[in-house]
Chain A
């Protein structure tokens, strides 16, 4: 860490703008105006869907990028929140479906997701690095088989169908426009929270114990507990995304939290880049676009080969994903503009 240098005080607006960054303001404006030009399909299937997957990948980015804990069980956490919505809210599978109002169900679902994530963290936090991948993958797979076999709680293979997003303030929130803004709002909150967390003492300590856990332990930090709390926060984000995902799909089944999905989250985060919270959203957009339009290029069946090869290429060329690629290109572009003088 370098020492922050006292800058001369500017006006409040200027510093605020400087803090946020002009790029992010432009991005926010573009995202807000997006519905004006996009069709319903682009609004939900691309916009909303990317934001949801971006949030799940964001929770992984928070763990992996700042904490060095690559967890493959984030989709399990998100799925659990979705299951909670189905169980405590309404569904038409005639199993459970307590029919509680959304403002009770959503906090419960998100909180359960946080607790589940913390438990997964407690199991895996004592090990590190690649061990975490193995253990969380084992947990995710076990959970997938469990939801498939268990009919008492998770309604087994069929899962739950007919889950509706709430009507609130006279708006049905699954309609394209409200749903897009809902996703955008939640995603921005999650994004800002992660950015804030990264700059807070908590986040700085987290990054420090990623780099040198022994020294942090010697300094008196409780490394395992710190990691578990991070898992809890990441679980809240994944839980929020899980709630949105189940409203988007209208149903949830073991397939939603399968191994393929767990690995998808990792692919999104890696393709986008895990250095900055914007990476997962970028990755999600790329993957969702590929998913939607790959059918025209390689046919629906071979999509996985395409995405797998793309993923391999990214891992080989740029370990920091598309963000890293941009970071490498930027200096070149700048020099290019200098050279192309008169």
Chain B
């Protein structure tokens, strides 16, 4: 490796430097696209600066939401080799619970907390009563999650019918923020700024905070150490005296809780309706396939790619938007079957 590096270094720049320069160039182009005032020819190609910038921002905030959902999914998968296909249902249950609690108490934050806690509890119950019985049998565990998602979807349809709900956010989260991004100048010389819903920025911020929190939990605490050890070698962890089942229960609680949390947060930004479970299950699947299974960083990268692809696709090629997501997945699988940050299979 080092010999190779030296050889290429003699020829010019190393591969790493090359990637760095490419990334810098890309960042510079993006910064220019976002902050500069566009010339007419660019407006012609990309519809308008407003459409472009809002699709980027929508993509990033959607990525935040996807990250919240997918991080729980990837965590559970990484440790327990359990593809939880009921993850979308957990999201939707969380959203409905958040809706009910917010409606009854009038406090949105209580709804968010309830979404997290109730789902964490459901996660522990599921782990203890269902998945522990089928340990080591990946396929059956997956089949069971499918069964659970079918029953859950049907029962939710029964309780909350097919209506669409919107969780009301408190006033301090409403309104729009003026971003320091100028799209154009009016004829009288006033600058036109882009307005963006404050709540969506909050979602993004929360996702980043939770991402950092998860990273700290995994890398700086004792429990995190156990979880990482369990991802690498479950049997060895058990052999060294750790109560693996307790670790599993904790991870499942975090994973399911995050799904419920995302349900309330996402249900406030978008809407709560039957069918959302499938949508978020698909999103988690694709994010985790692209990002690499069992990796939090991978989930962040995957969520960013998929969120951006979805929103940019929505603006620029409406009927083929889903294909863009799909192409990203196929290309990733063709080049790196284990995903961008995944360990080799």
Contacts and interface: CB of A to CB of B under 8 A. Distances in A.
B154 A127 contact: no
Nearest to B319: A149
A302 B159 CA distance: 11
Interface in A133-166: 133-135, 137-139, 141-142, 145-146, 149-152
A128 B337 CA distance: 10
Contacts of B320: 146, 149-150
7 contacts: A123-B334, A129-B139, A138-B285, A141-B281, A303-B154, A308-B147, A308-B154
Interface stretch (B43-51, B228-236, B325-333): B325-333
A234 interface: no
Contacts, number: 112
Interface in B314-341: 318-323, 325-326, 329-330, 333-334, 337-338
A135 B293 CA distance: 12
B147 A133 contact: no
A319 B325 CA distance: 35
Contact of B148 (A151, A152, A312): A312
A135 B326 CA distance: 10
Contacts of A259: 278
B326 A315 contact: no
A118 B140 CA distance: 26
A130 B139 contact: yes
A309 B333 contact: no
What class of interface size applies to chain A in its complex with B? 35 or more
Given A146-B323, A308-B154, A135 B333 contact: yes
Nearest to A148: B322
B142 interface: yes
A130 B83 contact: yes
A138 B139 contact: no
A134 B139 contact: no
A328 interface: no
A134 B77 CA distance: 11
Interface string B127-155: 00000010001111011101110110111
B150 A308 contact: yes
B147 A302 contact: no
B142 A130 contact: yes
B204 interface: no
Interface string A268-312: 001000000000000000000000000000000111110111011
Contacts of A316: 133, 144
A263 interface: yes
Contacts of A263: 146, 150
B138 A311 contact: no
Interface string B63-106: 00000000000000000010101000000000000000000000
B282 A138 contact: yes
A305 B322 contact: no
Contacts of A61: none
What class of interface size applies to chain B in its complex with A? 35 or more
A254 B318 CA distance: 17
A316 B325 CA distance: 35
A304 B153 contact: yes
Contact of B154 (A138, A146, A149, A304): A304
A312 B147 contact: yes
Interface string A235-279: 000000000000000000000000100010011001000000000
Interface string B237-279: 0000000000000000000000000000000000000000010
B74 to A, nearest CB: 11
B319 A150 contact: yes
B77 to A, nearest CB: 9
B333 A130 contact: no
A66 to B, nearest CB: 15
Nearest to A124: B333
B345 interface: yes
Contacts of B289: 131, 134-135, 138
Contacts of B293: 131
B302 to A, nearest CB: 12
B278 A141 contact: yes
A315 B282 contact: no
Contact of A307 (B142, B150, B322): B150
B227 interface: no
Contact of B321 (A129, A149, A307): A149
A151 B293 CA distance: 35
A301 B285 contact: no
B301 interface: no
A312 B282 CA distance: 22
A139 B286 CA distance: 9
B144 A315 contact: yes
Contacts of B285: 134, 137-138, 141
B147 A315 contact: yes
B158 interface: yes
Given A142-B326, A149-B319, A129 B154 contact: no
Contacts of A141: 278, 281-282, 285
Interface string A180-212: 000000000000000000000000000000000
A76 to B, nearest CB: 12
Contact of A311 (B85, B137, B147): B147
A81 interface: no
A134 B83 contact: yes
B319 A270 contact: no
Interface in B152-173: 153-155, 157-158
A304 B150 contact: yes
A152 B155 CA distance: 37
A126 interface: yes
Contact of A305 (B154, B282, B318): B154
A70 interface: yes
A316 to B, nearest CB: 8
